[in-house]
């Protein structure tokens, strides 16, 4: 009797299959992806301290009073120090220019793949996909050997007699652009291809029957139809590049100011966790609109709606 009651009560509080299926990934992502941002936000209001962990607590409980002490000096410093502002601007410029470059190079490539024979498409897409699985570190490292002063590129140019002394490419912004476009090009091509391959050819045929030039129908039909692919590709390049660390660190020089590198230095070299947190919060604030845009396009894609 009692047992039955207990069982029924237990059934009421134990989650059903549906809740479990939703709950497990939700809880994981909430705990290890969302909650940490709030901790970053909290620590960005703390002060650096020589302690373990190296920051002060922002609230205290003394004599039945809870005191919340928000220290805004990190943010004030970010807005006043030209280094940080320059780093944010540098990152945004780097991300913007490389996104445009990736789009200009990637669109024709994705188009060529989408219009190739079916068997060829699988092989080509695999060739594009493989580098995305390979460490960015290694692909960037490959460029270090090519671009350095006594590297292959300069050696080649000098043997051909085109230049007399080596060009300084490694440790400049140019090298970072090359590295970023090189590393992120596949991330532009994949969503573009996924979009372009679904296009209905009959629209283009109809346009050409009605006398539209190839370029005109490309511009007025193919490009507008591939809008979602363009958005997804651009966001997949732009957002991570803003926070990129490895490429500017290895290929860039003193003139390369990027926020990911500054955050890394604040955290690992200066051990100033509150400033690093404030840098992350501001970066996230800048990126929140692009991230929401990306999530929207991804959600549409996942539900299979157009």
Partner 1 sequence: MKRFSFSSLMLVLGLLFIYLPMLILVIYSFNASKLVTVWGGWSIKWYVGLLDNTQLMGSVVRSLEIACYTAVAAVILGTLAAFVLTRITHFKGRTLFGGLVTAPLVMPEVITGLSLLLLFVAMAQMIGWPQERGIITIWIAHTTFCAAYVAVVVSARLRELDLSIEEAAMDLGARPWKVFFLITIPMIAPSLGAGGMMSFALSLDDLVLASFVSGPGSTTLPMEVFSAVRLGVKPEINAVASLILLAVSLMTFLVWYFSRRAEEHRKRAIQQAIDESAADSWKQPDIRRAPAPASV
Within residues 155-174, the interface with partner 1 by CB under 8 A covers 155
Q: Give, in degrees to the nearest 5, the angle at Cα 299 between 298 and 305.
A: 105
Position among 4, 10, 25, 50 found at the interface with partner 1 (CB under 8 A): 25
Choice between 5 and 305, CB closer to partner 1: 305
Scan residues 74-103 and list those touching partner 1 (CB under 8 A).
none
Site membership for partner 1, residue 114 (CB under 8 A): yes
- Compare residues 69 and 127 and give the one whose CB is closer to partner 1: 127
53 binds partner 1 (CB under 8 A): yes
Answer yes or no whether residue 148 interacts with partner 1 by CB under 8 A: yes
Number of residues counted as binding partner 1 (CB under 8 A): 101
Of positions 10, 126, 160, 289, contacts partner 1 by CB under 8 A: 126
Smallest gap, in angstroms, from Cβ of residue 29 to partner 1? 4
**Element (DSSP H or E) covering residue 89:** helix 82-114
Q: Are 257 and 146 in contact (CB under 8 A)?
A: no
| Cα–Cα dist 230/224, whole Å | 9
Residue 186 interacting with partner 1 (CB under 8 A): yes
- Residue 303 engages partner 1 in binding (rule: CB under 8 A): yes
Q: Give the interface segment with partner 1, choosing from 58-66, 68-76, 77-85, 141-149 (CB under 8 A).
A: 141-149
User: Looking at beta carbons only, is 12 or 117 nearer to partner 1?
Assistant: 117
182 counts as binding partner 1 under rule CB under 8 A: yes
Specify the residue, 6 or 232, whose C-beta has the smaller distance to partner 1. Answer: 232
In the complex, what is the shortest distance from the CB of residue 5 to partner 1, in angstroms, rounded to a whole number? Answer: 25
Out of 70, 72, 89, 129, point to the residue binding partner 1 (CB under 8 A): 129
**3-state class of 51 per DSSP?**
coil
For the range 197-202, what are the long-range contacts, defined as Cβ-Cβ under 8 Å and sequence gap of 24 or more? 197/113, 197/114, 197/121, 199/114, 199/225, 199/226
Residues 6+ apart with CB under 8 A from 226: 192, 195, 196, 199
Residue 166 — φ and ψ, nearest 5°? Answer: -55, 140
- Identify the residue among 6, 7, 15, 39 touching partner 1 (CB under 8 A): 39
Using the contact rule CB under 8 A, the part of the chain among 6-14, 71-79, 131-139, 223-231 near partner 1 is: 131-139
According to CB under 8 A, which residues from 192 to 231 bind partner 1? 197-198, 201, 214-215, 218
Site for partner 1 in 243-272 (CB under 8 A): 243-246, 249-250, 260, 263-264, 267-268
Between 113 and 176, CB nearer to partner 1 = 113
Find out whether 114 and 204 touch, Cβ atoms under 8 Å.
Answer: no
Asked if 115 is part of the footprint of partner 1 (rule: CB under 8 A), the reply reads yes
Per rule CB under 8 A, is residue 15 in the interface with partner 1? no
């Amino acid at each position: 009797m009692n047992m039955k009651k207990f069982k029924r009560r237990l059934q009421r509080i134990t989650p059903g299959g549906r809740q479990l299926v939703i709950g497990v990934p939700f809880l994981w992502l909430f705990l290890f992806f969302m909650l940490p941002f709030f901790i970053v936000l909290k620590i960005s209001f703390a002060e650096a301290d020589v302690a373990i962990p190296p920051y002060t607590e922002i609230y205290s409980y003394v004599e039945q009073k809870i005191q919340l002490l928000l220290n805004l000096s990190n943010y004030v410093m970010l807005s006043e120090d030209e280094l940080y502002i320059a780093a944010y601007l540098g990152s945004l410029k780097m991300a913007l220019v490389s996104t445009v470059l990736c789009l200009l190079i990637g669109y024709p490539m994705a188009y060529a793949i989408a219009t190739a024979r079916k068997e060829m498409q699988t092989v080509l897409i695999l060739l594009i996909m493989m580098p995305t699985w390979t460490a960015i570190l290694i692909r960037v490292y490959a460029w270090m050997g090519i671009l350095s002063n006594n590297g292959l590129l300069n050696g080649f140019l000098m043997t051909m007699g085109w230049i007399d002394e080596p060009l300084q490419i490694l440790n400049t912004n140019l090298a970072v652009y090359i590295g970023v476009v090189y590393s992120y090009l596949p991330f532009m091509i994949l969503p573009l291809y996924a979009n372009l391959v679904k296009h209905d050819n009959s629209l283009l045929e109809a346009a050409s029957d009605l006398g539209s030039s190839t370029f005109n129908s490309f511009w007025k039909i193919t490009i507008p139809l591939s809008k979602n692919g363009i958005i997804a590709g651009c966001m997949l390049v732009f957002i991570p590049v803003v926070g990129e660390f490895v490429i500017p660190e290895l290929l860039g020089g003193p003139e390369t100011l990027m926020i990911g590198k500054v955050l890394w230095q604040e955290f690992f070299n200066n051990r100033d966790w509150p400033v690093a947190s404030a840098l992350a919060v501001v970066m996230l604030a800048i990126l929140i609109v692009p991230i929401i845009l990306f999530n929207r396009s991804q959600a549409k894609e996942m539900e299979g709606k157009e």
